Amino acid sequence: MEFDTTSDTGWIGDVRELAHELSDSSAAFARATEAVSDALFVALRSMPRELSPRSFVRYERRDAVLIVDLRVAEEDLVDLTTDEQRRLLGPQLLELVSRGTNSRTATWSQQERSLIRDEFERMLSRLNWLPAEG
C-alpha cells in the first residue's frame, strides 16, 4: 500500500514537522502492506477553532485511495510540546484510519483491512505517537 502525507497548518504547533515524521517513517508500513494495491493519504491540518475544523475519512474508489484528513484546532496545540502533540494526534489518527478501513466501498478483504489497521498502529507506536499502555 502506498503511503503519503501532507500538511496545511497555521503558525501554532508542530503539525507540519509531524507530517514529515510520518512520511519519513512510512517505509515499514508500505512494505508490510505491499499486498494491498491501494494508497493511504494522510493530511494533518491545524487551523483556528473559529473555522470549525472537522476531521474526515473517505475511500475514493475511482483513485483507490483512503483519504484521512485530521484537523485540529490550533488552540489545542498552543502550549503542548512536540511529544504531547504526537500523543494528541496519534490516537485520533488511528481512530480515523480504523474507521476508514471499514469503508463499504473499499474492495479489501477482512484480512487486508486488519493488516492496514495493525500496521498503521505499529507505525504510530514505533514513532511514540500513542500513549504507553498500562
pLDDT (tens digit, 9 = 90+) per residue, 1-33? 999 999 887 778 899 999 999 999 899 999 999
Domain 2-126 fold is Collagenase (Catalytic Domain) (3.40.390)
Query: Per-residue pLDDT for 131 more than 70?
Result: yes
pTM of the model: 0.92
What pLDDT, on a 0 to 100 scale, did the predictor assign at position 29?
Answer: 95
User: Would you list the DSSP string of the chain?
Assistant: -EEEEEEE--SSSSHHHHHHHHHHT-HHHHHHTTT--SEEEEEEEEE-GGG----EEEEETTTTEEEEEEEEEGGGTTT--HHHHHHHHHHHHHHHHHHHHT-SS----HHHHHHHHHHHHHHHHHTT-SPPP-
* Tens digits of residue pLDDT in 33-79: 999 989 999 999 999 999 888 999 999 999 999 999 999 999 999 99
